[in-house]
Structure formats: C-alpha cells, structure tokens
Amino acid sequence: MAYLRGLLRFVASALIVGGVTLAIILLSWIPVKVRGVRFSAWCFSLGVRALMPSLGLRFECTDCQRIVQHRGFVLSNHVSFFDTLVMAYLLPMRFVAKAEVEKWPFIGQIASATGTLFVDRSDKSNRNTVRRQVANAIRGSQYPPIVIFPEGTRNPLDTLLPFRYGVFEIAIDTEMPYLLCAIHYEETDSMTWHSRNEGVLTTVKRIVLRDTSRVWLVPLEVVQPRADDDPTELAAQAREIIGVALNEIRATNDPASALRKPIRNGSQQRRP
C-alpha cells in the first residue's frame, strides 16, 4: 500500500510540476500584475498549494495575514530545499539565487518569472556588490517581501547555525523592517537531503513513501532597525528569537506555544 501511495504521489506531483512550469513560462510574457505581483508569479504559489498536498505535506501557519501583509524582508531558519515552497505557499515572495541559476533550462525561466534576484556568489570580493543589488531591489519595491535565510545554508539540526549579518547591514542601511519566522517540519528527516552523496532518486523515494505530515510556518517578531544598530547584535537577537520558538515547537508540538514564549527585552519588537 505504501508503494502504491508513493507511486500516486510521484505521478501527481510530476503532472503538477510540469503543468505549472508550462503555465509560468507561457504567462511570463504577459505584464499583468495582481496585488502588485506578476500573474506568472502567482501561478507559482498556486502550484505550490497543489504540489505540497500531492506529496503528503500539509501546510499550517499560525498567522497568515502577518506574512501576506508584511513589506520588507522575511528572515527564517533554513531546514530543507522545501523551504522555498513553504515560503511561497501564501504569496509569491522573492528569493535570492546564485547567478548561474538564471541560465538553467526551465528553472531559470521560472525563477526569473517569479522575481528572483540573481547574484554572483562565486567571488567573496563581490559581497558588497551583492548587498547593493539586494538593497536596490528592496528600495525599489518592498512587496512582495524578499526572503533571506541568515544561516546561509540548509541546516536540519536542532541547533541553529550562526546568523550571517549581511542582511542585517542591508536592513539598517535601507531602514527596512524584517519579519522573523520559524519553519518546522513534523518529519524533518524525511524532508531533507541527507548528504551530497545521496542520489536524487533516493531522496524522492523517501519523500513519496513517508506518511502524511505537517510543516509549520510561524511568524514571530517584526523588527524595525535603526541607523545606529549593530548588525552583529541584530543577527544574534534574531537567532535567539527563532531558536527559542523552534525549541518550544519541538517540545510541545504546538506552534502557538512559540508565540507565548517570552523573549528577553533586547529582542523585543521595535517600531519606527
């Protein structure tokens, strides 16, 4: 029975991915916007809403409106390659990708159509250029939000990696608010790529054969940075807030508990 379910999931998800990809490519030439976002980008979000259930992954969010209405940056922990789908479930947010992705067949076209920012990460000396690109993009349009994963890489472990402070420097320079979020998978091991040596088919097989599970997107604090803020302190505070929330969710299996957990005064929300 598990293998039959896995086969059905695989076929359904393949059809959805193929159909959505075709729709995005065809509609990317049409300059129509819905709520300030290109229609082709909305097709991506609609596709995500169909794809995740087909894979047995149920999306839950404690406060959808806080995310949909936010303008600026969205910062979150980075657990899985599914995180971009989780973030795009409610609305087609913008992401930052390495420049070569733009040249990939189909994927590059989809990324371009959904407003992805392509940056050159190959040379560390280009970091200032990358930051200027992101800063110019957020100044040009605060909506939809730009998603950044401050850990800098996928990390399925219980302990968060140190947050890189580049995005916090950008937030300070642009005086742009950022919404901190926590992503938690009910079955983290099933939804991650275990190692570079693991084949794609092995990963796909594990995903389609597992039982239905949930993924939670929990919006936490909105922080309005000030010109005199220290980016390293903001990074540490953001890591603390998200870490405390994730620990609460893991301990109680209740995302709402993360919203009730008190945080230290230095990490409190600040308004303009």
The pairing of strands 37-38 and 33-34 is antiparallel
Whose CA is closest to 183, among 217, 152, 223? Answer: 217
Averaged over 106-131, what is the pLDDT?
A: 79
Q: How far apart are CA 191 and CA 107, in angstroms?
A: 21
pLDDT digits (tens, 9 = 90+) for 120-141: 776 666 778 888 889 999 999 9
Whose CA is closest to 222, among 171, 173, 183? Answer: 171
Greatest Cα-to-Cα distance within the chain, rounded to the nearest angstrom: 60
Averaged over 66-73, what is the pLDDT?
A: 95
A 10 A CB-CB count for 206 gives 18
Averaged over 180-185, what is the pLDDT?
A: 95
Peptide bond into 144 cis (omega under 30): yes
Angle between helices 200-209 and 2-27 (to 10 degrees): 110
Output the pTM of the full model.
Answer: 0.88
- Residues 6 or more apart whose CB falls under 8 angstroms from that of 253 comprise 186
In degrees, rounded to 5, the angle at the alpha carbon of residue 246 between the alpha carbons of residues 249 and 118 is: 130
pLDDT digits (tens, 9 = 90+) for 23-63: 998 888 888 888 888 888 999 999 999 999 999 999 999 99
Q: How far apart are CA 171 and CA 174, in angstroms?
A: 5
